[in-house]
């Protein structure tokens, strides 16, 4: 196989970048997902829509908004597309959560019928879920919501939080539907609050230094980007986004099929909070992994990992009822730190330790190997060399450098 010189791997950073390319959602699938939720937005806002007069707006949240989507590991797994449907001219005095959920649901069902979707939309706890059974294999969660500024401020004040640190996120808060909320069927009650746009603003802010550099490059090339907040996150990748993708792949392999696996929002939040503007994936991983593990170790008996844009929301709120979720996160971050930093601690970019190879999947490494000019036999040999290096480092007592936590 003749590999173009600009794609040949000659460093560990090159290896990590190549792995990221392999595990990232294909561009065609990414465009299809974005096209689908834009299509739903257009359907909801068409003149004869039952919610047209309430000014519906569709926006992405979660991994698609952050630019950290990766390919599923299992053959039966699907891409999760999380979107928010905000009715900008509605409020909690005009309709209950149940009424809003039903109203949006009527249009979602009509959309599914019009597009001859095989499965009817599912009415889940907070969202309407749509299944797309094709080669891309998406399922889309659509969260009905209303502007939630009042509820945002009131809930933070009631909980005793200082508003100064989060005041910039006030305008993006939303009230969301939730069947388990005691006021689900009542008008005029305060709704549960969320703030996905505020979270995305915080997430981008953690990458501001890198994004400003990329913005200057794009502006110089004629692509005008007014501010960091206007960045097309799915088009421009940063070392933080790439590091999160690698960590999510490690998580998916370690907990394939386990419903109690570490959730992406906690991984992204801890990683972003630990990020210091490192310019490479390697530097980013070396910096954030020890900090992420310490953050977990420093949690109290009741774990609290607050949403930076809405601190009354605890991303670890399920850990108390399901202790296995906390134990799994603790196991995972220790293992991820060990496996990833073991590769970065070695002397050769082409010596891939078996644990790191397996955590990215052997198939992914086989696809990357030709870029290192490695044959299948050489890949196996490189793993053996890496194992020997790891054993030598461990025997030397240098494992506190640190990639064998606790030793």
Domains assigned to the chain: 24-194 (3.30.460.10), 237-407 (no CATH)
Checking if the pLDDT of 234 tops 70, the result is no
pLDDT, average across residues 324-350: 95
Number of H helices, E strands in the chain: 14, 9
- Which has the higher per-residue pLDDT, 141 or 369? 141
Residue 192 has pLDDT above 70, yes or no: yes
Q: Return the sign of the alpha-carbon dihedral for residues 329, 334, 339, 341.
A: positive
More confident residue, 11 or 218: 11
**C-alpha to C-alpha distance for 97 and 192, rounded to whole angstroms:** 10
**Partners of 59 in the β-ladder:** 84
CB neighbour class for 35 (10 Å; exposed up to 12, middle 13-18, buried from 19): exposed
Which range has the top average pLDDT, 74-83, 144-153, 217-226, 340-349? 340-349
Res 212: pLDDT = 86
pLDDT tens across 249-264, in order? 999 999 998 999 999 9
CB contact set of 222 (below 8 Å; sequence gap of 6+): none
- The overall average pLDDT reported for the chain is 87
Prediction pTM value: 0.88
pLDDT in the model for residue 384: 57
Flag whether pLDDT at 219 surpasses 90: no
Predicted pLDDT at 323: 97
* Sign of the CA dihedral running 35, 38, 44, 48: negative
The maximal CA–CA distance of the chain, rounded, in angstroms, is 72
At 290, the pLDDT band (50, 70, 90 cuts) reads: very high
The pLDDT of 43-53, averaged and rounded, is 96
What DSSP letter does each residue of 126-175 carry, written as one string?
S-EEEEE-SSS-EEEEEEEEEE-HHHHHHHHHHTT--GGGTGGGGGG-EE
| Residue 403 confidence (pLDDT) above 50 | no
pLDDT at residue number 149 = 74
Residue 231 has pLDDT above 90, yes or no: no
Please indicate whether residue 150 or residue 184 has the higher confidence score (pLDDT). Answer: 184
Tell me: cis bond preceding 402? Omega within 30 of 0 counts: yes
Provide the pLDDT for residue 152. 84
**Residue 68 confidence (pLDDT) above 60:** yes
CB 334 within 8 A of CB 405: yes
Question: Could you count the other beta carbons within 10 Å of the beta carbon of residue 317?
Answer: 12
Q: Are 24 and 365 in contact (CB under 8 A)?
A: no
- DSSP character at residue 70: B
Q: Positive or negative, the Cα torsion across 251, 256, 260, 263?
A: positive
Q: What is the mean pLDDT of residues 326-333?
A: 98
Q: 186 pLDDT exceeds 90? A: yes
Q: For the residues 213-232, what does the mean pLDDT come to? A: 78
CA-based nearest residue to 138, from 40, 261, 258: 40
Residue 218: the pLDDT is: 81
**Radius of gyration of the chain from Cα atoms?**
23
Please report which confidence band the pLDDT of residue 6 belongs to, taking 50, 70 and 90 as the band edges.
Answer: low
**Percent of the chain's residues with pLDDT above 90:** 66
Q: Is 406 left (phi over 0), alpha (psi -120 to 50) or beta?
A: left
Higher pLDDT, 65 or 227: 65
- Would you say residue 357 has pLDDT above 90? yes
| Residue 379 vs residue 226, higher pLDDT | 226
pLDDT higher than threshold 60 for residue 170: yes
Mean pLDDT for 393-405 is: 44
Mean pLDDT of 182-202: 93
CB-CB contact of 255 with 332 (8 Å):
yes
* pLDDT at 394 exceeding the cut of 80: no
| Mean pLDDT in residue range 10-33 | 93
194's enclosing H/E stretch is strand 192-194
Rounded average pLDDT over 44-51: 96
Q: Is the pLDDT of residue 235 over 80?
A: no
* Residue 359 clears pLDDT 50, i.e. is over it: yes
């Amino acid at each position: 196989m003749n590999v173009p010189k600009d794609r040949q791997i000659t460093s560990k950073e090159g290896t990590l970048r190549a792995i990221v390319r392999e595990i990232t959602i294909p561009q065609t699938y990414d465009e299809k997902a974005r096209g689908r939720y834009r299509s739903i937005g257009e359907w909801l806002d068409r003149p004869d829509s039952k919610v047209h007069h309430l000014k519906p707006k569709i926006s992405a949240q979660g991994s698609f908004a952050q630019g950290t989507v990766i390919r599923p590991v299992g053959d039966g797994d699907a891409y999760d597309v999380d979107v928010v449907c905000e009715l900008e001219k509605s409020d909690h005095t005009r309709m209950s959560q149940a009424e809003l959920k039903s109203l949006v649901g009527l249009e979602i069902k009509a959309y599914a019928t019009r597009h001859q979707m095989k499965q009817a939309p599912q009415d889940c706890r907070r969202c309407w879920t749509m299944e797309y059974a094709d080669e891309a294999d998406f399922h889309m969660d659509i969260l009905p919501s209303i502007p939630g500024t009042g509820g945002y401020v009131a809930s933070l004040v009631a909980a005793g939080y200082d508003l100064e640190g989060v005041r910039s996120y006030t305008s993006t808060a939303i009230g969301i539907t939730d069947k388990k909320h005691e006021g689900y069927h009542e008008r005029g009650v305060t709704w549960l609050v969320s703030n996905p746009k505020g979270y995305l603003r915080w997430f981008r802010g953690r990458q501001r230094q890198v994004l400003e550099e990329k913005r200057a490059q794009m502006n110089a090339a004629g692509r005008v980007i007014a501010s960091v907040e206007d960045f097309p996150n799915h088009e421009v990748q940063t070392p933080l986004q790439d590091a999160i993708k690698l960590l999510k792949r490690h998580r998916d392999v370690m907990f394939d099929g386990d419903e109690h696996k570490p959730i992406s929002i906690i991984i992204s939040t801890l990683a972003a909070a630990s990020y210091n503007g490192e310019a490479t994936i390697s530097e980013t991983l070396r910096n954030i992994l020890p900090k992420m593990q310490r953050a977990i170790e420093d949690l109290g008996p009741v774990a609290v990992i607050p949403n930076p844009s809405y601190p009354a929301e605890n991303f670890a709120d399920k850990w108390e009822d399901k202790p296995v979720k906390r134990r799994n996160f603790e196991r995972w971050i220790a293992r991820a730190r060990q496996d990833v930093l073991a590769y970065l601690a070695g002397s050769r970019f082409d010596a891939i330790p078996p644990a790191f190879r397996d955590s990215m999947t052997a198939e992914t490494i086989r696809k990357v190997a030709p870029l290192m000019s490695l044959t299948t036999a050489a890949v196996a040999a490189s793993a053996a060399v890496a194992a020997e290096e790891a054993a030598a480092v461990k025997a030397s007592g240098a494992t506190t450098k640190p990639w064998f936590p606790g030793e």
